[in-house]
Structure 1
Amino acid sequence: MICPHCEHNLLRKERPGNRCSRCKRAYALDPKTNPLRLNDLRVRRITAALTDGGRIRIVPDQLWYALSRKRLRDSDYAQGCVGAAFAGAGFVTVVSFVAEAPVVLLVSAALLITGLGIAVARATGVGKGIPPVARGNFPAQVLDPWRKVYGALPPGVLDTTKPAVGTTAPTAAGPTDAAGPTGVLLCDDRAVLAFLVADGLPARHGLALARSPVEARTVPSSGPVLVLHDIDADGELLVRRTCEALPGRTVVDAGPPLRTVLALPQAVPHRDPGRKPGPAVVRALTELGTFTPEELQWLAKGWRFPLVGLPPARLLAVVDRVAGELTRRVDADRRRAADLGFLTWPEAAGPDPAGGR
């Protein structure tokens, strides 16, 4: 491992207790002991890429997914395990013949069976897509050691534990103040809302925030509702639930299409065995009529692309574009109404053309 301070390449024995024996300085993460096999330099490099060189800010959940991508691609059983099992079986077989000990062949057979089992497990994807560090455990296992060594989170990563970073709906700016929010941005992921708020998107477009269709219904606005959701079984149904809860309102699906994301070679899905959709959810997805049998099967197995797994700059740009198009349309309607006098009130009373009633 390369020391993040003096950049010397250190053997395991040269870095006891997460401290460099050359420069005597502590570091946060050791790939030999960290379940994500992280080191400080990799965290800095990936954070810089996610924040677009410091242009935007991200939330810890986005960093968690980016640091987990490599492990999500792999099975629990590495290719080396298969090779080691077969090589061991071959070696034991040779020894049994040289030593004229047929009973040793039983060990060879056991190793062969183990190798075949590992090969089958790899082929069927056992453990693939399951992060070794759960999203909820990431702060304790990665960010707390980092904060202990460096005194703060990596540059550009928001501390979402502070009350100042939340999902409070911003005040609509400009000409929308008198008429309330231009629309509603609905997303059930608190971390994604915190990311969008930190980068100023809701305030820029005069959007109120909601985490559920019920919350969206309480917002004093008749404008469009942008639904931003994970690409999974529950997320795909969120748009339908919003339409049912807000009849007559314009509801726009701002989530990336499953078919588009599945076609991206760099997209890495994950699955949560505890969130596998039930039969009722699968039937509801089938009733939508928008998914192929293969896509339905993929969703039914619990696979998903969470919003925190999308490139932050790309996610921000897409939502910004969709929100901009919709709010410009709403603002144009309001300006036309204002020209007719329906949404305005005279700032100062002038002469009454009817003779001062």
Structure 2
Amino acid sequence: MICPHCERNLLRKERTGNICSHCKRRYALDPKTNSLRLSDLRVRRIATGLTDGGRIRITPGQLWYALSRKRLREGGFAPGCARGALLGGAFLGFWGIFAGLSFMLYPSGALLATALGIHLARLLGAGRGIPPMTRAAFRSEALAEWLRVYGQMPPGVVDDSGHPWPGRPADAPAPNAVLVCPDPSIAAFLTADGLPDRHGIALVQGPEQVTALLPALPPHGPVLVLHDADVPGELLLRQLRANLPGRPVADAGVALRTVRGLPKAVPYRDPARKPTAQDMRRLTDLGAFTPEELKWLAKGWRFPLVGIPPVRLLTVLDRLAEQTALGVDAERRHAADVGFMTWPGAAADGPDPAGGP
């Protein structure tokens, strides 16, 4: 491991207690002692890329996903067991053959069969998509240790705990639209990068907050729904459309059918958060998903908003918010028609609105 302070290559015995034996300074993360194999240098490198070199700010949820991508794709079924069983079986087999101890071939065969079974299970996808460190554990373990050592978040990372949905003062101007975002990490990200204030959009957590804001919205002010590509996200969109007849409710979330076809999109699943049978019946009754998609969703798979590259997500939402403002404000719409409000360089070569996490 490379020391993040003096950049010396440290052997295991040279970094006891997360202290470099050369510069005597403490570091936060050792790849040998955490399930994501994190080091301080890797966290800083990934954070720098996500923030576009410090141009924008991100949240712990987005950092967690970026650090987990490789492990989510590879899977972590029975880590270390296959190699141990293979080496143990081979050792006992050779020992039994050369020492003439035929009874040793039985445990050898059992260990080799175990190694083969684990290998086959991995090929079939066992453990794939299950985070070796959950978002909650990332905060309570990795980030907590980082804060203990450095006293602040990694560069460019803002806290997403608490209540990141900004309230609107009583004397605030009427919003152009409402943006519903249940994920606190994404809500904190959008707030930190100024999107709601920049476009006059009210950022809220769920349907209850939308209802409270309806009297302040323009007659055709839309409700934008930003959600994960999963069962709760799809049901949230349909719930808002059912609750707001006559009001435009636009899907600003991750499009499941599109994102599943992107080679770089890495989904994840949480066995403890599988959708209920009732939720799956509601989703099936919509008739909007194929049997294959329904089966995939029923297993708890999801494409999360935190998996969309932050710069891409912010760019797409900026364009969507600008289009929303033009649709609500007739004067701005007329100005755009004559070129007054046209963004320089706002060409169609930007990111795909579906995202490409």
Post-superposition Cα deviations, 1:32-61, rounded to whole Å, max 9, x if no partner, equal: 112211100000000001101101001111
Counterpart of 1:231, as a letter, is A
Conserved? CA contact 1:75–1:126, under 8 Å: yes
Post-superposition Cα deviations, 1:250-282, rounded to whole Å, max 9, x if no partner, equal: 000001211221122221111111211122222
Conserved? CA contact 2:254–2:303, under 8 Å: no
Aligned position for 2:252: 254
Post-superposition Cα deviations, 1:183-208, rounded to whole Å, max 9, x if no partner, equal: 10011112211111111111111111
Aligned position for 1:67: 67
Counterpart of 2:139, as a letter, is P
Matched residues in 2 for 1:195 and 1:280: separation? 32
Question: Which of 292, 295, 298 is the equivalent residue of 1:297?
Answer: 295
Aligned position for 1:340: none
Between structure 1 and structure 2, the one with the greater Rg is 1
Q: How far 1:87 moved relative to its partner?
A: 4.9
Matched residues in 1 for 2:51 and 2:30: separation? 23
Matched residues in 2 for 1:171 and 1:203: separation? 12
Matched residues in 2 for 1:166 and 1:77: separation? 35
Q: Give 3-state SS (helix, strand or coil) of 2:329's partner.
A: helix
Matched, 1:281 2:279: yes
Conserved? CA contact 1:170–1:202, under 8 Å: no
Matched residues in 2 for 1:335 and 1:318: separation? 19
Q: Give 3-state SS (helix, strand or coil) of 1:152's partner.
A: coil
Conserved? CA contact 2:159–2:188, under 8 Å: no
Matched residues in 2 for 1:214 and 1:90: separation? 62
Q: How far 1:137 moved relative to its partner?
A: 2.2
Conserved? CA contact 1:172–1:181, under 8 Å: no
Q: How far 1:108 moved relative to its partner?
A: 1.5
Matched residues in 2 for 1:82 and 1:136: separation? 28
Matched, 1:189 2:189: no
Written as runs of structure 1 = structure 2, the 5 A alignment for 1:101-112 is 101-112=101-112
Shift in alpha-carbon separation, 1:90–1:143, aligned structure 2, 3 A: closer
Aligned position for 1:149: 149
Post-superposition Cα deviations, 1:212-270, rounded to whole Å, max 9, x if no partner, equal: 12210110214100000011011012111001111110000001211221122221111
Aligned position for 1:5: 5
Matched residues in 1 for 2:80 and 2:263: separation? 24
Matched, 1:328 2:322: no
Matched residues in 2 for 1:287 and 1:320: separation? 34
> After alignment, is 327-336 or 92-101 more displaced?
327-336
Post-superposition Cα deviations, 1:127-165, rounded to whole Å, max 9, x if no partner, equal: 22121222122222111211222221111101234x7x7
Matched residues in 1 for 2:226 and 2:66: separation? 20
Matched residues in 1 for 2:3 and 2:226: separation? 41
Structure 1 regions of 5+ residues with no counterpart?
A: 337-357
Counterpart of 2:10, as a letter, is L
Post-superposition Cα deviations, 1:160-187, rounded to whole Å, max 9, x if no partner, equal: 34x7x721145799xx93xx11110011
Matched residues in 2 for 1:47 and 1:334: separation? 37
> After alignment, is 274-283 or 34-43 more displaced?
274-283
Structure 2 regions of 5+ residues with no counterpart?
A: 335-357
Aligned position for 1:212: 206
Q: How far 1:335 moved relative to its partner?
A: 8.0
**TM-score normalized by structure 2?**
0.86
Shift in alpha-carbon separation, 1:83–1:308, aligned structure 2, 3 A: same
Shift in alpha-carbon separation, 1:309–1:112, aligned structure 2, 3 A: same
Q: Give 3-state SS (helix, strand or coil) of 2:127's partner.
A: coil
Counterpart of 1:125, as a letter, is G
**TM-score normalized by structure 1?**
0.86
Conserved? CA contact 1:172–1:206, under 8 Å: no
Matched residues in 1 for 2:77 and 2:180: separation? 40
Written as runs of structure 1 = structure 2, the 5 A alignment for 1:120-269 is 120-161=120-161, 166-169=164-167, 177=173, 180-219=174-213, 220-221=216-217, 222=219, 223-269=221-267
RMSD: 2.3
Matched residues in 1 for 2:142 and 2:211: separation? 38
Conserved? CA contact 1:184–1:207, under 8 Å: yes
Q: How many residues align?
A: 330
Q: How far 1:293 moved relative to its partner?
A: 1.9
Post-superposition Cα deviations, 1:299-357, rounded to whole Å, max 9, x if no partner, equal: 11100111112111111111111121121110127988xxxxxxxxxxxxxxxxxxxxx
Shift in alpha-carbon separation, 1:333–1:249, aligned structure 2, 3 A: farther
Conserved? CA contact 1:172–1:182, under 8 Å: no
Matched residues in 2 for 1:334 and 1:213: separation? 29
Matched, 1:272 2:270: yes
Give the percent of matched residue pairs that are identical in Structure 1 and Structure 2: 58
